Structure 1
Amino acid sequence: MVLKTNNWKTIVAAAFVAVSLTACGTASNTGGSDAAKYPEKPIVITAPSGAGGGWDKTARSLSKVLGETKLVDQTMTVENKPGGGGTVFLAEYVAKDKDDPYKLFVSSPPILINNLKKEGNSPYGYKDVTPLAQITKDYGAIAVAADSKYNDIQALIDDIKADASKVTLAGGSAPGSMDHLISVLPAFKLGVDPKTVKYLSYDGGGEAIAALLGKNADAIGTDISSLGSYLKAGKIKILAVTSNERLGGDFKDVPTLKELGIDAEFTIWRGVLGPKGMTADQIAYWDKTLKALSENEAWNTELKANDWASEYKNSTDFAAFLAEQEVVVQELLTALGMQK
């Protein structure tokens, strides 16, 4: 009798374990299946600026090549959300899209600068989103109209020193943001109080260049990659670039600040970021996809067409890099008296 009871208990226990394992297996497979489905609907990539600037071009190039190469099967669209050098978009994004892995965006140093600066700052920064990958690097440049009286940056700075109110600099981002820092950096390094430099901000590099060509600004500070077509068309002169050595191609004749005796450089990284609530599987998908993009010939062709340099970092390395860059930006803003 005891033996029979034990056999019955054994059979029931075995059956229970079998059912439990089946349930676990089903749950696991379901989770794996859900992960495998991502992405299963259209993806939106936002450029937090107007058309024509570096963010806009990066978002459109990224969407174009990912689609053409079939690295992403879903439809990808680009939307522009200008305002406050990216601060307006980021506030809305963090509030409304923190759990939507189908809404990504591109960014660059302003996501750090806007969070650290004193005036017009953003309460949000890279820690409020998910860094997915750095994909390019670029440099700042100071440019003037082709018919400008300025043929070298020293002459421009001499006029600023003489009377800063009579020289207008412009950029495609808010005061204290990236284009502003690029604009005032050479003068600051030569002893000018950056707070005295007259700076006009526009929503995007395209608008800033329009202001320059329309005689509403004497010079602009912006990313050099956005200036290539205007240089080729003979509409502008580029007085200096913030790289540590001369660039090639169309920019081979543009001197660096350092060779002009100004000890300064400024690298503009660009990357892809997503909402804070992304899962490990979703992040892994973009690690794999964006690494494949960085190695694709079509992407390299796109980089050359836009005068960009390739610089790939995966999500982990990109986040660590941003932590390092945050320290650098804080030091620069402190030196300029613009830190919060």
Structure 2
Amino acid sequence: MNPQRSNRRQALGWLAAGAAFLGRPQLAHAAPWAPTGNITYNIGVAPGGSVDLYARGIKNALDTLKLVGGHTVLPLNKPGAAGLLVLQAMQKARGDAHNLSTFHTGSIAGQVTGVLKADLREFVPVAMMVEETTLVAVAADSPLRSATEIVDKLRQSPESLKIAVAPLRGLNLHLAIAKPLKLAGVDVSRLTVVPFRSSGESVTAVMGGHVDVVIATGPTVTPLAQSGKLRMLASCDPVRGKGPLAEVPTWRELGIAADYVSYNGVLLPPGVDAEQIRFWENALRQVAQSADWRQLVEKSGNKPIFKGYVDSHRYLQSELKDTQELVASLGAGAR
């Protein structure tokens, strides 16, 4: 995609645009933008995981709350190439805000590790909607009784347990398990990491005994734990959760200060203008405030939030830097 110099110019331009965007009176003369047709919500994963769940939850809220002028939001799953297929579709839709996609910490991790052959700084993150809890779980009948037992076993033999992640090595779920294990003295370069197309598939594999441990976000793990099919052994959050997560210890509580928090939101194509950004920021703020959306997120064990365009852009920049440092320290790139 664009060379590094172009990315630096665009980042500076985004910061300037963000300042202007906050100064709303400067745009008072511009005609408000609104959709003139149906919206395509491009989802870069297979159905069954949290990314798909939240994209469809946002789609449903936009439709139900009538926030897109009577038009329809059409979800379109395009799994493959760590999300590159979706970003290529978004590139082709340059300047057309009738296209949405997911803005996710996993894509940032993929860019840093080289799994995702794209530069997210070319796109426009317009909102962050969910703070995700990442959980370590095993099958209900697993002989592994605690996260401490997993750590002890992997210290002795890093290859001895099959650890399921989705959709690929080198993304956020891989980093979320590698970080505490590395800090606990495990040689993470020797782990047996087994990738699946979606977290739905990875939890199915652990329940079937094909892998020993799964790491996935709350929406995938929590319902299965509540039904007695999985046991949750550790949370990557800095503090213990509520509801069904109240009994799940954090890595920090287990003596391993290795928090890892992921965020999920909405991405727009390159080249959209300030009025298009404003429309979607306002619409998504209303989604974030709706009772049905908050219930969907909280039921899954995650935290509903709302951060708009400027904060989302700042997060993208800071998370790229932080993830570069984390990957360098872990040696956890894709392979």
1:201 counterpart = 2:198: no
1:57-76 paired onto structure 2 within 5 Å = 57-73=53-69, 74-76=71-73
RMSD of the TM alignment (CA)? 2.1
Matched AA of 2:108 = L
Any unmatched runs of 5+ in structure 1?
A: 1-29
Q: 2: distance between equivalents of 1:117 and 1:202?
A: 18
C-alpha displacement at 1:31, in angstroms? Answer: 7.4
C-alpha displacement at 1:166, in angstroms? Answer: 2.3
Q: 1: distance between equivalents of 2:299 and 2:132?
A: 13
**What SS is found at the alignment partner of 1:209?**
helix
| TM-score w.r.t. length of structure 1 | 0.85
Conserved? CA contact 1:50–1:80, under 8 Å: yes
Q: 2: distance between equivalents of 1:63 and 1:180?
A: 28
1:156-190 alpha-carbon deviations (Å, 9 max, x no partner): 12222222222100111211111111222221111
C-alpha displacement at 1:293, in angstroms? Answer: 1.9
Runs of 4+ displaced beyond 6 Å: none
Greater fraction helix: 1
Any unmatched runs of 5+ in structure 2?
A: 1-28
CA 1:115–1:241: 2 relative to 1, 3 Å: same
| TM-score w.r.t. length of structure 2 | 0.86
1:52 counterpart = 2:48: yes
Conserved? CA contact 2:111–2:118, under 8 Å: yes
1:225-236 paired onto structure 2 within 5 Å = 225-236=219-230
Conserved? CA contact 2:103–2:125, under 8 Å: no
Matched AA of 1:76 = V
Q: 1: distance between equivalents of 2:315 and 2:177?
A: 24
Conserved? CA contact 2:59–2:75, under 8 Å: yes
Structure 2 match to 1:151: 145
Q: 1: distance between equivalents of 2:68 and 2:301?
A: 24
1:210 counterpart = 2:204: yes
Q: 2: distance between equivalents of 1:167 and 1:304?
A: 31
1:182-238 alpha-carbon deviations (Å, 9 max, x no partner): 222221111112111110111111111111112111001111232111011100001
Structure 1 match to 2:314: 320
1:54-91 alpha-carbon deviations (Å, 9 max, x no partner): 1100101101111111122320121211123323432x
Q: 1: distance between equivalents of 2:176 and 2:205?
A: 17
Give identity over the alignment, percent: 25
1:117-153 alpha-carbon deviations (Å, 9 max, x no partner): 14xx333232111111001101211110000001101
1:86-235 paired onto structure 2 within 5 Å = 86-90=83-87, 92-118=88-114, 121-235=115-229
Conserved? CA contact 1:182–1:222, under 8 Å: no
